[in-house]
Amino acid sequence: MRAIDLSHDPKRKSWVSSANAPDGDFPIQNLPFCAFRRARSAEEFRGGVAIGDSVLDLGALHELGVLDGPAAHSLGACAQPFLNALMGLGPEASSALRAGLSAALRIESTLAPRLRPLLIPQEAAEYRVAAQVGDYTDFYASIHHATAVGKLLRPDNPLFPNYKWLPVAYHGRASSIRVSGYDFARPAGQVLPPGAALPELAATRRLDYELEVGVFVGRGNELGRSVPLREAESHLFGLCLLNDWSARDIQAWEYQPLGPFLAKNFATTVSPWVVTLEALAPFR
C-alpha cells in the first residue's frame, strides 16, 4: 500500500485559489495526470497535472528545472507525448514527483511567481488518452455487475458458475480506446430480430454503456512469468473513469461460444485524468 505523507494533508492549501474550493474536483490533495496540449494548436502533447481549474504544464516545468532529485527524474518522463515512461518508473518515482508537485503548489511555496505562467485553463486544453495502450482486458467489476449484464443476454441463467471462482474477462481492441468526448460511428453487424430464423445486417438498435473504473498498469512483467500477489500493486500507476460501450443486439447473436467481437470493439472511452494510487491512499 502507498504511504500517507504531507501531500495528503487535508489542511494543505494551494496558491492556485480555484484548488481550494470546497466542492472542487482537483484540490492539491488530488493532482491527477493527463496528456494535453493547448486546444486548436499544433503543439506537441505533453504531461500535465490538474490543479483547480487549470493544468500545470509538466513539460514546461521540466524545462524550468526547479525540482531536483527523484522528483526531477520523474518529471523528465512527463515531457513526452504520452505518460508510459512515467508509469513504468514505479511507485517510488510517482510518489516522489507527487510530493515535489504538492510542495511547489502549496500556498507557502516561493515558486508561485515562476509556476503561475505554466498554468493553462482546463477549458483551453485538448486531451488524449494519457498512455499508449498496447493491450487491455475488460473485467466484470463485481458479482452484481456480472449478474446485471447476464440478465441482458441470458435472463434465465444470468450468472455462470465460473464467476465465483475466477475473474471473468476478455481482451478488447486497444486501438479503439479514445478519450472522453470522442464521436464514434454507430456500430453495425449481424443481429437476430425477435422471432426471426435468420440474422440480418443492421446498425445496432441497442447501444449501451457501462460506467467502469480503468486501471493503468505501469510496470510490466516477463512473458510467461507471473507477478506475485504481494507485488501486484507495485505494478499499478493509477485509475480513471471509463465508459465501456456495447452493441447489445449484435452481442447477443455473436458472443457464443468465443465471447464478444464486433459488439464490443468499436469504442471504449476513458477520462483524460489518471488519479494515482498515492492520491487514493487515505481512502483505502
H-only helix segments in the chain: 58-64, 69-76, 84-88, 91-105, 112-115, 143-153, 248-254, 277-280
- Kindly write down the DSSP assignment for every residue of 44-101, as one continuous string: PPEEEEEETTEEEEHHHHHHHT---HHHHHHHHGGGSSSSHHHHHT-HHHHHHHHHHH
**Percent of the chain at pLDDT exceeding 90:** 88
Considering only CA atoms, give the Rg of the chain.
22
Residue that is written with C-alpha cell 443486439 in the block: 249
Check pLDDT > 90 for residue 272. yes
- Find the mean pLDDT for residues 235-260: 92
Q: State pLDDT tens for residues 228-237.
A: 999 999 999 9
Instruction: List residues with catalytic annotation.
Output: 145
Nearby residues of 9 by Cβ (< 8 Å), 6 or more positions away: 29
Distance of CA 127 to the CA centre of its chain: 12
pLDDT at 258: 81
Give the list of residues 6+ apart from residue 196 with CB closer than 8 angstroms, or none: none
Q: Is the dihedral of CA 72, 70, 179, 117 positive or negative?
A: negative
In the three-class reduction of DSSP (H, G, I as helix; E, B as strand; rest coil), residue 234 is classed as helix
Task: Specify which residues 122 forms β-bridges with.
Answer: none
The phi-psi region of residue 187 (left if phi > 0; otherwise alpha if psi is between -120 and 50; otherwise beta) is: beta
CA atoms within 13 A on the CB side of 55: 25
Grid coordinates given for 170: 476478455
Over 90: is that where the pLDDT of 251 sits? yes
Which residues does 18 contact at the CB level (< 8 Å), separation at least 6? 24, 52, 53, 54
User: Is the whole-model pTM more than 0.85?
Assistant: yes
List the grid coordinates of 93. Answer: 518515482
Query: In the prediction, which pLDDT does 140 show?
Result: 87
What average pLDDT does this structure show over 98-108? 98
- Domains by residue range for the chain, with CATH: 6-130 (2.30.30.230), 137-270 (3.90.850.10)
> Given pLDDT bands bounded at 50, 70 and 90, which one contains residue 153?
confident
Predicted local confidence at residue 2, as pLDDT: 81
Give the CA count within 13 Å in the CB-facing half-sphere of 140: 18
Instruction: Identify whether the C-beta of residue 104 lies closer than 8 Å to the C-beta of residue 72.
Output: no
Hey, how many other C-beta atoms are within 10 angstroms of the C-beta on 123?
8
**In the prediction, which pLDDT does 255 show?**
86
Question: What crossing angle do the helices spanning 69-76 and 91-105 adopt, rounded to 10°?
Answer: 100
For the chain, give the mean pLDDT: 95
Half-sphere exposure of 87 (CA within 13 A, CB side): 28
pLDDT at 259: 80
